[in-house]
Amino acid sequence: MFKITDLEYTIEDYLTSCDMRNLSSKTIKSYDQSLKLFTKYLLEEYKITSIKQLKKIHIEEYVKFTKEKGKYSFVTNNDSKLKNHPQNRKDYEKKVSVSTVNNYLRNIKAFINWCVSERLLKDNIAKNVKHLKASRKPKEQLSDQEYKRLIGSLDTTKYVEFRDYTIINTIMDSGMRLGETLALQIQDVDLVRRAVIINADNAKSKRDRVVFFSRKTSQLLRRWISYKDRYFETDILFPTNRCGQLKVMNFEKNFKKYITLCGIKKYVTPHSLRNNFGRRFLVNGGDIFTLSKILGHSSVAVTEQAYADLSDEDIRKNYQRFSPIENMDK
């Protein structure tokens, strides 16, 4: 008969606490998946059934095991493996990426931190377990000309394309996430103060925050709202042409079409607009602390890591503005 171990009970308590702290369902699902795989490994390799038995070496060995194992070769439920036939996937048994391994480790560390805070463990055994070194691949950036080409390809005489044109400009000017933007209601937008209040229910961090936009975007939003109100009586800022809330997946599909039609060969997604906002904010003299607040990151360290790949050209432009010699004669 299947028996639930003490470790599994501890993990369930942890996931309940995550839910009570109002973490997103996506985050909780990630914790659940990572910790179930970790639990299976501990049971099969070391017969560990309690958090008290866990040591630093077990976490380090699991990181090594995860790095070396092939994709989909180690799962929590073998029945699902039989049903889903992962061996038919092109990437079956290919190496798990460094970023994925590090994400598993981050989730385990978060769990261990909670165990220490709940006095289930005396020492933080995961504290000194090191993340794998990863070579960063710079994110694709849109040049000014490419961005103008993108928005210039939309026909703003058509409802859907005018709506998408406004969404693209709003994200590029404010740094909001796509999901946050599509969830906006009319009352969330202050056109006078040029500010948007992002409700905690729609924010990844599950905290209210305020972002801002320019005078130019304010004028665009006024035009859009006036245009939208001719057709629909709804508080949704960017409704579908059937008056419902636009889904992230549907906008991403539209965006991909616009990128293709305007001839941009780079891998660019709606999230790239947010990345472009962050990079331009820093290059134009903005500070990392303010950017972290605007983007809604959990810490400045997250922001620093996200924008560690500023290009040489970005740095060159920024340097020219702050060169000590050049500024002596000003």
What value, to the nearest 5°, has the Cα angle with vertex 99 and ends 95 and 103? 110
169-212 pLDDT, tens digit per residue, is 999 999 999 999 999 999 999 999 999 999 888 887 778 899 99
Q: What share of the chain is helix, strand, coil (3-state, %, to 5)?
A: 60, 5, 35
Look up tokens 């299976």; give the residue. 40
How far apart are alpha carbons 272 and 61 in whole angstroms? 36
Give the total number of structural domains in the chain.
2
The verdict on residue 204 lying in a domain is: yes
Residues 108/39, Cβ–Cβ less than 8 Å: no
CA dist 19 and 36 (Å) reads 17
Q: Look at the pTM and tell me if it is higher than 0.85.
A: no
Domain span at residue 278?
A: 144-322
Kindly give the residue spans of alpha helices, DSSP state H, lying in 76-158: 78-84, 98-117, 144-152
Same domain? For 259 and 205 the reply is yes
Tell whether 173 and 81 lie within a shared domain: no
281 occurs within a structural domain = yes
Residue 247 lies in a domain: yes
Distance CA 81, CA 78 (A): 5
Mean pLDDT by 10 residues, the chain (330 residues): 74 94 87 93 93 95 85 47 43 70 93 95 94 75 93 96 98 95 97 94 84 96 96 95 95 96 93 92 85 87 73 59 57
155 and 104 in a single domain? The answer is no
Residues 86, 167, single domain; the answer is no
User: Are 148 and 226 within one domain?
Assistant: yes
State the CATH number of the domain containing residue 43. Answer: 1.10.150
Residue with tokens 């320019």, as numbered in its chain: 214
